[in-house]
Amino acid sequence: MREVDIPVSSGYKVLIGSGLLSKLGQETAKTAGNAKYCIVTDENVAPLYLEKTLTSLRSTGAEVLGFVFPCGEKNKTTATVLRILEFLADNHFTRSDVLVALGGGIVGDVTGFAASVYQRGIRFVSVPTTVLSAVDSSVGGKTGVNLGGLKNQVGTFWQPSLVLCDTDTFSTLPDEQFASGMAEVVKYAAIFSEKFGEKLLADFVLPDVIAECVEFKRSVVVRDERDTGLRQLLNLGHTFGHAVEKISDNFYFHGQAVAIGMVMAFNVAVKLGVCPESETAKLVQLLRKFGLPRSAGFSRDEMLSAMQSDKKRSGAKINLVLPRKFGECFIYTTDMSALPDIISYAM
């Protein structure tokens, strides 16, 4: 088992390894005491892992309930959060109790948001069951739901009290979802370390790779917990990627859209003369290895319309993450008036 400490305002551990789901009860009992638990999951994950999670938590003598909601981005809404809150109230949950997010990024974001606002904040434990949520959304304390078709427009910062990643759960992921998660792994290499990218091209041990990604994220989150500066580097590929998700009506998985967005960001950097063209090939080589898309074929006007609503926009300016080379990125701020040209460079 790998263990990574996240020393933020409310510090916690990230546990990574095989067979950990059966140990969830004993790990949460170390800090939760006599808490009551509500496991929040979706209709895809529930048949696979809900019973095992219930059994593990109940083995400590705790009272445990489950809440299952329909899967997919269309259910990442305030309406779903409200249903969770009403369920907690109806079952007399208190501030000493715990929510458990069992699933991918959508489950984690929705559960974390519900935990942050129920009775002004209760504890939650994240149990990511996808590669993407393990390396990205389960760590760092960002929660949120979509609004009006726009990604994560409503949310809070609320750190989990524990993250437990059982890598055995990845064995049930469809190939495209596994690849989608690996796009976020490639993102860390593109931002932080060409050497890490070379490791991904070779044979690697998945728990070690996940732990290394969590360590990359920790290095940023501890210095910028509220996402006001340095942490924005983690948005490489996301400004373009969110637009791809919106235009395609979520035809692309999040990681697939980020893969496309990363290529677009590299294209922009090359056109602006801040990154050698040869660096793009290093990114494309990794994306090809994991079967990830590199383009979506949308028009400039479609991309422009979608990007004008991105939450990384600040007044008349927008922040993009661009590479200087593979393994080194920076935050590039430009006027919204330049966005049509930027999109043209990207395509």
The fourth-level CATH superfamily of domain 179-346 is Dehydroquinate synthase-like - alpha domain (1.20.1090.10)
pLDDT at position 313 is 62
Q: Are 35 and 182 in contact (CB under 8 A)?
A: no
**CA gap 126, 107 in Å, rounded:** 9
CA dihedral 96, 75, 184, 221 (to 10 degrees): -30
pLDDT value of position 190: 98
Indicate whether 314 pLDDT > 70: no
Cα separation, 344 vs 347, whole angstroms: 5
The helix/strand/coil state of 249 is: coil
pTM, entire model:
0.93
Can you give the pLDDT at residue 311?
A: 58
Residue 164 has pLDDT above 90, yes or no: yes
- 3-class SS of residue 266: helix
Supply the pLDDT for residue 250: 87
* Confidence at residue 148, expressed as pLDDT on a 0 to 100 scale: 85
CA gap 262, 260 in Å, rounded: 5
| Residue 85 burial (10 A CB sphere; 0-12, 13-18, 19+) | middle
Half-sphere exposure of 119 (CA within 13 A, CB side): 13
Residues 8, 221: contact at Cβ < 8 Å? yes
By DSSP bridging, strand 328-335 and strand 98-103 are unpaired
For residue 315, pLDDT over 90 is answered with no
Report the pLDDT value the prediction gives residue 150, as an integer from 0 to 100: 82
Mean pLDDT of the chain: 95
For residues 166-188, average pLDDT:
97
Q: pLDDT tens digits, residue range 255-280? A: 999 999 999 999 999 999 999 999 99
> Looking at the DSSP assignment, which residues form a beta bridge with residue 81?
none
Q: Are 108 and 140 in contact (CB under 8 A)?
A: no
- Model pLDDT, residue 32: 83
CA distances from 83 to 137, 219, 265, 325 (A): 22, 35, 38, 46
Distance between CA atoms of residues 236 and 264, nearest Å: 10
Map tokens 């393994």 to a residue: 327
Residues 6+ apart with CB under 8 A from 341: none
Pairing of strands 123-128, 37-42: unpaired
User: Reduced to 3 states, what is the DSSP secondary structure of residue 226?
Assistant: coil
What is the C-alpha separation between 142 and 157, in angstroms, rounded?
5
Q: Are 293 and 205 in contact (CB under 8 A)?
A: no
pLDDT digits (tens, 9 = 90+) for 27-60: 999 888 789 999 999 999 999 999 999 999 999 9
**Residue 41 · residue 66 · CB < 8 Å:** yes
Instruction: List, for residues 103-119, the tens digit of each pLDDT value.
Output: 999 999 999 999 999 99
Q: What is the pLDDT of residue 205?
A: 94
Q: What is the pLDDT of residue 157?
A: 96
pLDDT, position 139: 94
- The domain ranges of the chain are 2-172, 179-346
What CA–CA distance (Å, rounded) separates 185 from 131?
9
Query: What sign does the dihedral 342-344-345-346 (CA atoms) show?
Result: positive
Encoding tokens for residue 334?
């430009």
Coil/strand/helix, residue 34? coil
2-172 fold: Rossmann fold (3.40.50)
244 φ, ψ (degrees, to nearest 5)? -60, -45
The pLDDT assigned to 151 comes to 84
Q: How many CA atoms does the CB half-sphere of 233 hold within 13 Å?
A: 22
Whether 310 shows a pLDDT value over 70: the answer reads no
Q: Percent of the chain at pLDDT above 70? A: 98
Mean pLDDT of 235-242: 95
Please state, in angstroms and rounded to a whole number, the distance separating the CA atoms of residues 315 and 133.
30
- In whole angstroms, what is the distance from residue 182 CA to residue 80 CA? 28
User: Residue 218: is its pLDDT beyond 70?
Assistant: yes
